[in-house]
Amino acid sequence: MKFWHALPLVRNYVAAMSRISALEAAFALSLENPRYIPGDTVGFNGQRHRKRMFAELVGACAFERVIETGTYIGDTAAFMAATTALPVHTCEANRTFQVLARSRLAGITGIHFHTGDSRQCLRALLSDPSNRDWVQRPLFVYLDAHWHADLPLVEEIALIASYAKDFVIMIDDFKVEGDPGYGYDNYGRGKSLELSTLRPVIGRFSLVAYFPSLASANESGSRRGSVVLCPAGPVSARLDTLTSLRKA
């Protein structure tokens, strides 16, 4: 077998091992912390500046609801619900992770769990006529459902921008230009979490991008990169004033 013929098999093997590793980590975390306990190292990868970014966005935009894709074991969903008292809709494709999250977050109110592909969840929530009243109001969306061969970001962003009017999107594991100390996901050609991958959808919906203003060397926790997207206009004007962000 020639090398390039074996590449798909290698990629599938790596993806499978990564999923097994993630599942083992989730079980270990759930055994060590069977209930969500708030703390500096819990939620948003334990990154204090990421939490500051979120707090400033909440203060500036007066969100009425939060949507998260990629629940995992629920720490970030719980953090967002507990610190804002806003309804949080969180979607997870892996049923095992969702069962763990439901168990760990049983005592926290305001969290709505959804199972399925992130794009299907977003479409169902945003297109439901009964949700029309809050879809047109300030909405925060946290995207963390990307995984190896499946990179749903472009479709997720397009869905949000097509249905929502006043929204802010934050994407985890994203390349922060000018600061290589922030980690990000790169699954091969055309599947790297960076601005060049999103440029068509950013241009199509006239979105403005922001990176963390803090240098990675001063961040805590996992030091994963992120990007914040919003429509150009009144929303971006508010984000321009936030000290936790720098315009890309």
**Tens-place pLDDT, residues 28-69:** 666 666 678 888 899 999 999 999 999 999 999 999 999 999
Please tell me the distance from the alpha carbon of residue 91 to that of residue 50, in angstroms, as a whole number: 21
* Confidence at residue 133, expressed as pLDDT on a 0 to 100 scale: 86
Please tell me the distance from the alpha carbon of residue 202 to that of residue 219, in angstroms, as a whole number: 27
* Confidence at residue 190, expressed as pLDDT on a 0 to 100 scale: 81
Please tell me the distance from the alpha carbon of residue 70 to that of residue 94, in angstroms, as a whole number: 9
Rounded to the nearest angstrom, the gap between the alpha carbon of residue 215 and the centroid of all alpha carbons in its chain is 20
Strands 111-115 and 139-143: unpaired
1 vs 242, residue with greater confidence: 242
Share of the chain above pLDDT 70, in %: 85
